[in-house]
Structure 1
Amino acid sequence: MKPKRLILVGILGAFVSVIGTTAEAREARARLLDAAGQRVGTVWLQEDDGIVGVRVRVNDLPPGFHGFHIHETGICTPPSFTSAGFHFQPGETGGGGTPHPSEAGDMPVLLVNADGTGEARFQTDRFSVAGLFDGDGSAIIVHAAPDNYANIPSRYAPNPDATTLNTGDAGGRTACGVVELDD
């Protein structure tokens, strides 16, 4: 089901603006770009009956496991992509207090094959597609390292440090894509 569109026409028809209504958004996508601005993949989100299906396809990324998260701000400024903020959690900003891996934006790690390609599909009920279109939008990040989900057994460290608790030690940001209505 495609989101409805609202067309606003200004005085004398001189100004036309198209605004997608996000209250009914059920489908979205993010085009993943690397630090050089090259497209390295796409993430599709499709909601049905409160469950969001997530499908990702990537290419030209470093092989191995990568943290894969939705972040709170829909801005992808290269090369570091820190403009995307912290992990997405409705009602919170700036790493508001929900511990990793319980944030809505925490998703399964992404495996990239030796040839730089990878695909994944999963379902989640942690967020709605419409919820990703809050005041400043959302972005999807592929991190440089795997996500350990803040799980450090006490035999290795008595207490996980702040980086582990906030990010799962997923490291820098390799690719970023702004979540947009899929039309």
Structure 2
Amino acid sequence: MKRWIFLALIAALTLVLAACGTGENGSEEDSGSSENTEEGSSGGSSEEVEVSMQNNDGEETATATLTEDDSGVNIALEGENLSSGEKGFHIHNSGACETPDFQSAGDHYNPTDANHGFDDPDGPHAGDLENIEVSEDGTVSAERTADMVTLEEGQDNTLFTEDGTALVIHSEADDYESQPSGDAGDRIACGVIEQ
């Protein structure tokens, strides 16, 4: 009988200590979360940025989710109602997507003053991304990594510049070498990258 009481007391003491420990860790986690939130609000790597992309008629046609890890800024793109085929996909240097032609998005994001294209020895632009493939049914699901940019505000090559930045899908494939934009054709979808 005494043994059961002793075991019950040990179990109760363990639960109390565990609860106290959780409280302390919870406080630390809360303060950590607070720091993460602050980092997130200033563009920290834990941030997730949603970009809504519109077509030339101003209708939403795609969404992109941007996250950052050690490899760079990862872009998960989901879209529909696009013309099929291989398309150029870039980050542009102005956070404006005015229909119908999206010329307001400016040139490719190029803070290092490089040449365009993965196949140019003096390239690529920080905003150059690999082409995407739109299916016959007009849908696209693709993931691309921009390894020369960051979501951290105030850092070199941040996507949160004074002028802003935008994601753009082009009508044709990027040839990865023609200047200044890979001969990728018209801009058929655009979305502003913003916090």
Instruction: Pick which of 99-108 and 82-91 moved more.
Output: 82-91
Please list the CA deviations of residues 90-140 of structure 1 after superposition, one character each: whole Å capped at 9, or x if unmatched.
Answer: 26xxxxx42111101000101000100011113332111231111011000
Which one has a larger percent strand, Structure 1 or Structure 2? 1
The amino acid across from 2:183 in the alignment is D
Which amino acid is the alignment partner of residue 139 of structure 1?
A: A
* Residues 1:98 and 2:119 are matched in the alignment: no
Identical-residue share of aligned pairs (%): 36
2:191 corresponds in structure 1 to 177
Shift of 1:50: 5.4
Task: Flag as ranges the 4+ runs of structure 1 deviating above 2 A.
Answer: 1-5, 20-27
TM-score (norm 2): 0.70
Structure 1: runs of 5 or more not aligned: 6-19, 92-96, 151-163
Structure showing the higher helix proportion among its residues: 2
2:25 corresponds in structure 1 to none
Which residue matches 1:121? 143
Give the total of aligned pairs.
Answer: 149
**For the residues of structure 2 that align with 1:4 and 1:60, how far apart are their CA atoms?**
38
1:1-183 paired onto structure 2 within 5 Å = 3-4=37-38, 21-24=41-44, 26-49=47-70, 51-90=72-111, 97-101=113-117, 102-130=124-152, 131-150=158-177, 164-181=178-195
Distance in 2, Cα, partners of 1:138 & 1:58: 20
- Give the TM-score, by structure 1 length: 0.75
**Aligned counterparts of 1:172 and 1:3: Cα–Cα separation in 2:** 39
Distance 1:100 1:177 in 2: 21
Supply the AA of the counterpart residue of 1:100.
H
Please provide the CA RMSD for this pair. 2.0
